[in-house]
Amino acid sequence: MVEAIADSGNETGGGPAAGGREPEKRVSTGAQVIAAVVVVAGLAGVLWALGGGRQGANGTGPAVCDTAHGTEPAKAPSGAQLCTALNRSDLPALLGTPNERAVTASGSESTSTSADGTKTTSPEADVDLKTYSVQLTASGDDLRVSEFAGFLGSGARTTTILGHPAVLYSDRTIALHFSLGGGKAGTGPGGIARTLVVARDVKDGGGSFEVAIWRQDLATPDDTALLRVAEKVLPTVPGWTAG
């Protein structure tokens, strides 16, 4: 996971200076067992100017889903459908920050090609608040969630979400520092992202959803908040099979 952090000329130390960070993207490659994650963060004003996410129509309300940067339609669900499911009105309350609102929201699809030429489309959605960023991705491969824990290391914990097999694990982010006024870029340690991988069906027949959260201040996310989000959002996503 990589975070890009802009400052006004001096390298920041990972704190909330320079106007705050807003992770824009996290790319999951579920077919490869361990998700390859990329998070691009920047100043909120810069993201809005570049169309990285959409605000409410009056500029002060919660963000609405932006799907303009999707690359190829997914089978189901689409990035737009994931964004609609994730960008719910009670998301701030589920995260434990009821006085906040969605600042940016987007849905997209990315396509990867395997060595044998098989193309895989991965839909994802991202919603950013002042304190938290949340990402929802879907994988339609045949990999079972029960196979994940062994690849994710001793820190991974198996659990169940609404009767579906699941794995909870952490990613350490890497912060990329750069100056808006020019100069050298650098990298440093970032924060923790907590990710929950949940099977699409109770029998764990293949395919999964991933819900990930991380904090803008680099503090460790609240697992309780992650579980609340997963339990409310996942049943509303196309492709989820209730037990």
Q: Give percent of the chain above pLDDT 90.
A: 44
Task: Let me know if residue 241 belongs to a domain.
Answer: no
Taken as a whole, the chain contains a residue count of 243
The per-residue DSSP string of the chain comes to -EEEEEESSS---SSS-TT----------GGGSSPP-------HHHHHHHTSSB--TTSSS--B-B-TT--S--SSS-HHHHHHHHS-TTHHHHTT-TT---SEEEEEEEEEE-TTS-EEEEEEEEEE-SSEEEEEEEE-SS--GGGHHHHH-TT-EEEEETTEEEEEEEEEEEEEEEETT----EEEEEEEEEEEEEESSTT--S-EEEEEEEETT-PPP-HHHHHHHHHHHGGGSTT----
CA distances for 191 relative to 1, 35, 198, 216, angstroms: 10, 17, 23, 8
Q: Which domain holds residue 194?
A: 2-236
Flag whether pLDDT at 194 surpasses 50: yes
> Residue 230: which residues within 8 A CB-CB, separation 6 or more?
161, 166, 196, 198, 211
Structure confidence by residue, pLDDT tens digits, 70-97: 444 445 699 999 999 999 999 999 999 9
Flag whether pLDDT at 214 surpasses 60: yes
pTM of the entire predicted model: 0.74
Burial of 65 (0-12, 13-18, 19+ CB in 10 A): buried
- Specify the number of domains making up the chain: 1
Q: Tell me what pLDDT residue 45 has.
A: 30
Task: Let me know if residue 242 belongs to a domain.
Answer: no
Q: Are strands 104-113 and 119-128 parallel, antiparallel or unpaired?
A: antiparallel
Structure confidence by residue, pLDDT tens digits, 22-70: 333 443 424 233 232 333 333 233 333 333 455 543 456 788 997 655 4
Task: Let me know if residue 168 belongs to a domain.
Answer: yes
